[in-house]
Amino acid sequence: MGCHGLAAITAITVQDTAVMEEVHSISPELLDDQARCLLEDMPVQAIKVGGLYSAECASAVAQIAADYSQVPLVLHLGHRTPLPADAAAQDDADDLLAATLELVLPQADVVVVEHARLAQWLSDGTLEIGEATSAAHAMVGAGAKWVLALGSPLRPGHAVNLLVGPEGTTTNWPWQAPPDRSSDSGGLLATTLAACLAQGMEVPAAVEKSLALADAAVAASFLPGMGRRIADRRVP
């Protein structure tokens, strides 16, 4: 993609291709220190936010994004996490989602999220659609500049990748169900999108290119272990 990637770790995990067994969130202070160390050292052109595992880390990311508001930010809401083991873990997960939607989402230039997650948040009351025409439009109303909802139903038996932008403008591209046992390709798509934005592409063109590259990588996915298929990132 013509970019040099930098990382600020948000968590240490125990996982394989089948399941994420444990997550140990990094302290918000350490996350903040590492991100700012990189941002003050090099001219970062785009930021992609993926897995956040505590409300405190979401708050730290939101403050960093506010301080570097001139840098495009892509927020991916779709990482795999272990199911809450008890009521306390469920409360932590609820607090994390609330902090992400309230603090990080309004800082995002583009939010990448599966329609299935939006539908779940609508059904449990986490996301209120109000007068918006869709859940993606509601997220734009909540502050995101653009929302890319993957697998949005267009009509019975037909789904699209729906991009909603300023003033409710919409664009869509065909969506194809991934092969069985595929890993989440949203993270790959969001990272590719961040690389396109870093090179100065406008959002609709960056989304179109990123979807094509991610689809090609998923189509060439392979099965290295006993769990999910992995997208082949080497596809040109």
For 2-23, the pLDDT digits (tens) are 899 999 999 999 999 998 889 9
**Average pLDDT over the chain, rounded to an integer:** 91
Q: How far apart, in whole angstroms, are the C-alpha atoms of residue 206 and residue 211?
A: 9
Task: Parse the chain into domains and list their residue ranges.
Answer: 11-219
Residue 73 and residue 63 in contact, taking contact as beta carbons nearer than 8 Å: no
pLDDT of 6: 96
In this structure, the dihedral spanned by the alpha carbons of residues 29, 97, 117 and 49, taken in order and rounded to 10 degrees, is -20
Averaged pLDDT for residues 206-217:
95
Averaged pLDDT for residues 46-56:
95
Residue 31 corresponds to which tokens in the numbers above? 């996350």
Task: Give CATH for domain 11-219.
Answer: 3.40.1190.20
pLDDT of 109: 97
Question: In this model, does residue 62 exceed pLDDT 90?
Answer: yes
Q: Partners of 164 in the beta sheet?
A: 147, 170
pLDDT of 7: 95
Going from the C-alpha of 78 to that of each of 5, 32, 85, 188, the distances in angstroms are 20, 22, 19, 11
Q: What is the pTM of this model?
A: 0.93
